[in-house]
């Protein structure tokens, strides 16, 4: 008898844990277009998922009278296919998977539901009814690096996340910008050690983010570049009196008040575009990789310690990118050993960028296996 009671109570405990993956419908009416999002983490993670949630809010604001939106939080790889299939069975018209790990599960479901549109963020596999989309965060990284260079920071410490092309591209763009800024102010620097990179090997890990930032600061790095989804490395820098640069969302809003600037995602503009295409029947599966020309990447407001002339120069560079003139990865560009990656007159193609697995000169540290 007792054993049965115990088993029953244990079962209740497990169920309690199950409640936590929440599933919310923002509004529900039958005749509207049904839009669903699977989110990696909770909407208040202060980084990646928060930025997607802000996108969802913008979508709701703009098209709320024509669509109904649902989202599910904490959709991890193992559970993703079930979530997508569930949405498909409920007759959703367009389903978004918002993290890299959603790619294969989304593709599996897309094959079974050819009439539903599927959208995958940050991946490379597609189908006639499944499109890839992403924002060119490296443009923001480049501007942040340029700003840091103009301000004379020459020993930056980067708390990087997973050693895959997206962060690698960002680190490189940041370093290229940093070098450009330093060259413009005529600073002396050690050209092999401008930007030291350490890896969390996770998208978020608050304790290790803090420790890595502190380690870099103890090694006399003068600026901390946060790349994780959570602002804790920036916050640790602030606590130690070293400036930081935030990522994904405005780190200064989450207590990291020393953040000079943050590079932030603006997914809303894409979500509106994609859903409008479904509404008017022009949706196709051509991959979308937008950037500052669409305001897909935004710079937060600058910290008051950033000088006006630096801001002006950064914003001038921003104008160029917003006009679509992206020459960040133009040659001459060298790898860490000084070998030529791109000659004068050459430039990295989108394919090169999407598969980038090499660090440029100026980065100290290596890509873990």
Partner 1 sequence: MMEDIVFIGQIAIKSSVAVLLATIGEIITERGGVLNLGVEGMMIVGALAGFAAGFATGNPYLAIAAGAMAGGALSLIHAFFTIKLRSNQVLCGLALTILGLGLANFLGRPLIGEAGVRIRAFAVPYLSEIPYLGEIFFQQSPYAYGAYILGPLAWYVMFKTRAGLVLRAVGEDAAAADAAGVNVAATRTIAIWVGGLFSGLAGSYLSLSYTPGWKETMTGGQGWIAIAMVIFCTWNPLRAFWGALLFGGLTALQFFFQATSIDIIPAYVLKMLPYLLTIGVLVLVTSSGKRRRSASPADLGVPFSRES
Contact 268, 98 (CB under 8 A): no
Nearer of residues 43 and 110 to partner 1, judged by Cβ:
43
- Tokens 């009416």 sit on residue: 29
CB of 203 to partner 1, least distance (A): 11
Selected binder of partner 1 within 94, 178, 216, 299 (CB under 8 A): 216
Closest CA to 40 of 102, 89, 109: 102
Phi, psi torsion values for 38, nearest 5 degrees? -105, 125
| Residue range at the interface with partner 1 (CB under 8 A); choices 8-16, 98-106, 300-308, 315-323 | 8-16
Contact 331, 346 (CB under 8 A): yes
Selected binder of partner 1 within 46, 51, 122, 172 (CB under 8 A): 46
Regarding 24 and contact with partner 1 (CB under 8 A), the answer is no
CB of 210 to partner 1, least distance (A): 4
Helix, strand, coil % in the chain, rounded to nearest 5: 40, 20, 40
DSSP secondary structure of 12-59: HHHHHHHHTS-EEES---TTSEEEEEE-SS-TTSSSHHHHHHHHHHHH
- CA 141 → CA 13, 137, 164, 287, distances in Å? 44, 6, 16, 22
Nearer of residues 11 and 27 to partner 1, judged by Cβ:
11
Nearer of residues 50 and 132 to partner 1, judged by Cβ:
50
- Tokens 């999002």 sit on residue: 37
| Residue range at the interface with partner 1 (CB under 8 A); choices 16-24, 113-121, 145-153, 259-267 | 16-24
- Which x/- pattern, by CB under 8 A, does the window 231-270 give for partner 1? -x--xx--x--------------xx---------------
CB of 261 to partner 1, least distance (A): 19
Contact 297, 266 (CB under 8 A): yes
DSSP category for residue 174: H
Nearer of residues 210 and 269 to partner 1, judged by Cβ:
210
Regarding 367 and contact with partner 1 (CB under 8 A), the answer is no
Regarding 199 and contact with partner 1 (CB under 8 A), the answer is yes
- Tokens 């994904």 sit on residue: 248
Contact 232, 164 (CB under 8 A): no
Closest CA to 32 of 64, 70, 71: 64
Extended beta strands in 42-183, E state:
67-72, 94-97, 117-121, 130-135, 156-160
Regarding 17 and contact with partner 1 (CB under 8 A), the answer is yes
Q: How many residues at the interface with partner 1, by CB under 8 A?
A: 46
| Residue range at the interface with partner 1 (CB under 8 A); choices 25-33, 88-96, 208-216, 297-305 | 208-216
Nearer of residues 149 and 157 to partner 1, judged by Cβ:
157
- CA 147 → CA 246, 261, 280, distances in Å? 13, 9, 42
- Which x/- pattern, by CB under 8 A, does the window 130-169 give for partner 1? ---------------------------x------------
- Tokens 């094959």 sit on residue: 111
Nearer of residues 16 and 286 to partner 1, judged by Cβ:
16
| Residue range at the interface with partner 1 (CB under 8 A); choices 173-181, 201-209, 304-312, 339-347 | 201-209
CB of 225 to partner 1, least distance (A): 13
Q: Which residues bind partner 1 (CB under 8 A)?
A: 2-3, 5-6, 9-10, 13-14, 16-17, 19-20, 42, 44-46, 157, 196, 198-199, 201, 204-212, 214-216, 218-219, 230, 232, 235-236, 239, 254-255, 364-366, 368
């Amino acid at each position: 008898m007792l054993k049965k009671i115990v088993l029953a109570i244990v079962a209740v405990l497990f169920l309690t844990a199950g409640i936590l993956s929440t599933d919310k419908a923002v509004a529900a009416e039958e005749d509207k277009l049904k839009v669903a999002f699977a989110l990696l983490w909770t909407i208040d993670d202060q980084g990646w998922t928060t930025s997607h949630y802000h996108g969802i809010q913008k979508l709701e604001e703009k098209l709320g009278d024509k669509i109904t939106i649902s989202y599910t939080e904490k959709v991890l790889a193992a559970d993703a296919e079930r979530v997508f299939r569930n949405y498909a069975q409920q007759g959703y018209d367009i389903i978004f998977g918002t993290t890299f790990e959603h790619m294969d599960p989304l593709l599996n479901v897309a094959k079974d539901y050819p009439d539903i549109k599927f959208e995958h963020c940050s991946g490379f596999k597609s189908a006639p009814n499944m499109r890839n989309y992403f924002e060119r965060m490296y443009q923001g990284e480049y501007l942040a690096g340029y700003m840091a260079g103009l301000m004379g920071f020459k020993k930056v410490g980067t708390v990087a996340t997973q050693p895959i092309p997206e962060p690698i591209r960002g680190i490189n763009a940041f370093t290229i910008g940093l070098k450009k800024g330093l060259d413009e102010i005529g600073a002396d620097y050690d050209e092999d050690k401008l930007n030291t990179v350490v890896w969390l090997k996770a998208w978020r890990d608050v304790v290790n983010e803090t420790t890595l930032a502190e380690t870099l600061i103890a090694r006399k790095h003068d600026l901390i570049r946060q790349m994780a989804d959570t602002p804790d490395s920036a916050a640790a820098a602030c606590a130690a009196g070293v400036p930081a640069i935030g990522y994904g969302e405005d780190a200064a809003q989450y207590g990291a008040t020393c953040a000079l600037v943050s590079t932030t995602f603006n997914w809303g503009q894409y979500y509106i575009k994609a859903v409008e295409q479904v509404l008017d029947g022009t949706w196709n599966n051509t991959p979308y990789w937008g950037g500052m020309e669409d305001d897909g990447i935004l710079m937060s407001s600058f910290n008051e310690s950033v000088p006006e002339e630096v801001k002006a120069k950064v914003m001038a560079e921003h104008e160029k990118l917003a006009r679509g003139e992206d020459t960040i990865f133009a040659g001459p560009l060298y790898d860490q050993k000084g070998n030529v990656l791109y000659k004068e007159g050459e430039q990295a193609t989108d394919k090169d960028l999407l598969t980038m697995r090499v660090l440029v000169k100026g980065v100290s540290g290596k890509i873990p296996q």
